[in-house]
Structure 1
Amino acid sequence: MPKLYVYLIFIFSLQNFILGQAIAKPLNTLDNIIQEQSYIPIGETTFSILFWDLYKSKLLTTTGTYPIQTDRDKLLYQINYLTGISSKDLVNRTVEQWQHLGVEPELYAVYLPILLKIWPDIEEGDSLSLYVNNNKSVFYFNNNLIGEINQPEFSQLFLDIWLSEKTSEPKLRLELLGIKNDK
């Protein structure tokens, strides 16, 4: 009899482990994030300089609206690159955009070493995504988790590059926000 009990306990434990693995969805891939809850597309756009398309981007939220309540709503901003850019150049372009917005350097300087560490060199076809949840900013590269920034103000600072009324690309802003531009 004792062997039967050991065998049954083993089978029961194995079954619970397998079932637990199937139910638990780790948030280390963007696909798992997207499957966890439905996201409503707000808008999408293509960023071009002259006749070169550099990237396509898409804004989605769980509410279908922007701005969101970062403590309860979720947001996904996806960038699909149509050309390559080094990590250093990507951070430099980010700084240039914050400067264009008039953001004081002391507000973004703390994030620069973090971004340099987590953002990889980008090649054509790569994607970089920002997932905002519970006041956290989580970055995914080609759908895999690469790092996060836990300061609540970072997500808005980063998204303002595209979504602020002061953005350097107002047409892209309108397209990302799903606003028709009659001009």
Structure 2
Amino acid sequence: MLLLALTLVMAASGAVPAAAQTGTEARAGSPRPPELEGALPQGRLLGGGRLRVFGFQVYDARLWAAPGFRVDNFANHALALELSYLRAFEGQAIAERSLTEMRRTAPVSDDLADQWSAALRRVLPDVKKGDRIMGVHRPGVGAAFWMNGKPLGEIRDAEFARRFFGIWLAPGTSEPGLRNALVAGAGS
């Protein structure tokens, strides 16, 4: 019940006063995910951090990109964002929160929001502690998703992909500390 309340508070309030932590909890002992070999073979780990919301640990995040990645132009680069969940969430709640965060950067029409929400609900499953979801940004094409190394599906919409990965990488992210930790090894 506490998890549901946390998710509802996050989704309803839009407030995410979390402290992103850089350092070992997001990187130590974590091998290169096997799905990177096919999805982003030249990808290297740029950085990682932990998302905390109201003191609750939500997930560890790691960002992988090819040499030459520039955060100020992230939408033009192939990249992979890995989230290792530290608690359980329903896929629908993850989809709703994602759309809320995507709307923070620019308006999204109701029709487009409905399309993106349905696409997210199709590819994002419920997660439990220890599950790992990886999203791969394919510039000009869209995004592909894996869970624990197994394919979940694709959303073939370049604007969706730009806005989705902008949740973490756009300058107006609700989590600038996490953004900084993720791109610590990248150019500006």
TM-score past 0.5 threshold: yes
Structure-2 residue corresponding to 1:164: 170
TM-score when normalising by structure 2: 0.70
CA RMSD of aligned residues (A): 2.3
Distance 1:42 1:33, change over 3 A: closer
Residues 137 and 165, structure 2, Cα contact 8 Å, conserved in 1: no
Is residue 122 of structure 2 the alignment partner of residue 117 of structure 1? yes
Q: Give structure 1 stretches of 5+ with no counterpart.
A: 1-29
Tell me which structure has the larger Cα radius of gyration.
1
In the alignment, what sits opposite 1:59?
63
Distance 2:158 2:101 in 1: 20
**Aligned counterparts of 1:105 and 1:143: Cα–Cα separation in 2:** 33
Give the % identical residues: 21
- State the partner residue of 1:86: 90
Query: Which has the bigger relative contact order, CA under 8 A and spacing at least 6?
Result: 2
Following superposition of structure 1 onto structure 2, how do residues 1-183 of structure 1 map, counting pairs within 5 Å? 31-34=34-37, 37-66=41-70, 67-68=73-74, 70=76, 73-106=77-110, 107-133=112-138, 135-178=141-184
How far apart in 2 are the matches of 1:47 and 1:39?
A: 22
Q: Deviations over 1:130-183 (max 9, x none)?
A: 112362311001111010011222221101111111111111111111179xxx
One-letter amino acid of the structure 2 residue matched with residue 154 of structure 1: F
TM-score, normalised to structure 1's length? 0.72
For 2:99 and 2:114, how far apart are their aligned partners in 1?
9
Q: Aligned residues, how many?
A: 149
CA distance in 2, matches of 1:123, 1:155: 24
Q: For the structure 1 residues 88 and 77, does the alpha-carbon distance in structure 2 shift closer, same or farther, using more than 3 Å as the test?
A: same
The offset of 1:50, in angstroms, is 3.1
